[in-house]
Structure 1
Amino acid sequence: MTFYTDHYLANHQQLNSLINYAVILVLLVLLAFTLLYYFRHQLQTKYRDLGIIIFLLLLIFSGLQVTNLEKSQAQHAQAPQMRPFIQAVARDHHLKPSQVVVNSTTLTDGIIVRFNKQDYRVNFSPSGDNYTLTRTRVVDHHVNIQD
């Protein structure tokens, strides 16, 4: 089970997007060089075939990036709400925000909050302006904390 700290939520939300952008940039550079070689040596079709392969890879990664952006757009809309929630839990239980970890990057009903080596399930009111913590037990005790 993966838990996220306040530090992670503040700084590491964009890592997957950055990797995809880097791959797309590399593919664009490769496509430009391949097109340059193809126009210089038009009789050799290997550059044209290589250019087509790189272009198809570029389309695939661009499609993946668009899909990731659509999916993460909803997450990013809720991600700024998670940090104030962590800070509120820490304040209510007289802890530092760094001592509170959650198992989701989005603020939804049923997430698990861990502090003082105990796990709590979060239940939000319909309006979302208050919450209840219920002591819970996790099945998988192997915890990976993303900091």
Structure 2
Amino acid sequence: MTFYTYGYLTTHHSSWQYLRIGLIIALLAVFVGLFVYYLRHRWNVKYKDMSIITGTLLLLVLGFQINSLVSLRSATEQTGEITATVKNVAQQLDVQPSKLAVNATTTNTNLLIKAPSGYYRLDYNSDGSAYVLERVQLHRPKVTIVKE
């Protein structure tokens, strides 16, 4: 069973975003350079073809980036929900949030919290607005903790 620490939940971001932004900037620079070169030398058609190919690649990577940003935004909102839940549980258990670990990165109906004093289960009501925190005993737990 995998548990994620509070630090992991608050600092886990995709590092691919920076690489994709760098790729977009590089493709844009190549596209502008090829297109300007084609406009100066209209007799050389290969630069027109290369600028069209580069522009197509630029649009493709830009589409991937927009899709990734939308899914990152959704994941960030869900992570915000789970971190708020971890903070509330930490207040109830009178421990620091950094000492807790949770078995999911999004709120769902089967959340387990690993605290220094043991394992706890969050039992949500039907509309998900409140929960009951109850202590559970795991039989032979094989726990992996993912940290920042």
Pairwise same-fold verdict (TM > 0.5): yes
CA distance in 2 between partners of 1:28 and 1:138 (Å): 55
For 1:55, the aligned partner's letter is G
> In structure 1, what is the equivalent of residue 146 of structure 2?
145
Task: Name the Cα RMSD after superposition.
Answer: 3.2
Normalising to structure 2: TM-score of the pair?
Answer: 0.70
User: Per-residue deviation at 1:82?
Assistant: 1.8
For 1:108, the aligned partner's letter is N
Alpha carbons of structure 1 residues 120 and 51: separation in structure 2 relative to 1, 3 Å: farther
Larger CA deviation: 131-140 vs 33-42: 131-140
CA displacement 1:4-62 (0-9 Å, x = unmatched) = 43333334446444443333222222222222232233333443333223222222222
Give structure 1 stretches of 5+ with no counterpart.
none
**Aligned structure 1 segments of 4 or more residues deviating by more than 6 angstroms:** 137-140
User: Per-residue deviation at 1:97?
Assistant: 0.8
Whether the 8 Å contact between 1:27 and 1:58 is mirrored in structure 2 is yes
For 2:35, the aligned partner's letter is L
Alpha carbons of structure 1 residues 80 and 28: separation in structure 2 relative to 1, 3 Å: same
Give the % identical residues: 26
Is the counterpart of residue 130 in structure 1 residue 142 in structure 2?
no
Give structure 2 stretches of 5+ with no counterpart.
none
Whether the 8 Å contact between 1:2 and 1:146 is mirrored in structure 2 is no
Alpha carbons of structure 1 residues 137 and 54: separation in structure 2 relative to 1, 3 Å: farther
CA distance in 2 between partners of 1:137 and 1:107 (Å): 23
In our comparison, the structure showing a higher alpha carbon Rg is 2
> In structure 1, what is the equivalent of residue 66 of structure 2?
66
